[in-house]
Amino acid sequence: MPWRKPKNCPYCNEPMEPGRVRATDGAGIFYLPDSEDDPHLWIKRSIEKRNGIILDGPYMIRTSCTVSCYACRKCRQLLISY
């Protein structure tokens, strides 16, 4: 993995650990507001219509999906940039 600028935890201010969230056999990794239901199809238009954020994908063929993040094990928090 390429070097990434260190980040400190926004809760405890300790250094965070760079890492990744990974899913296999998926269409991608997406954020949706709690106010929105899941789309019938996980396609770009459906996700964006629901004010969602695409972190990886969407892929037509189910594949491995990855998004970079930082972890604070003490606070049990993941920080994901997009």
- Give the nearest distance from C-beta 67 to Zn ion in angstroms: 20
- Give the nearest distance from C-beta 71 to Zn ion in angstroms: 9
The site for Zn ion (CB under 5 A) is made up of 9, 11-12, 72, 74-75
- Give the nearest distance from C-beta 17 to Zn ion in angstroms: 10
**Beta carbon nearer to Zn ion, 43 or 71:** 71
**Beta carbon nearer to Zn ion, 11 or 82:** 11
**Beta carbon nearer to Zn ion, 42 or 70:** 70
C-beta atoms surrounding 16 within 10 Å: 22
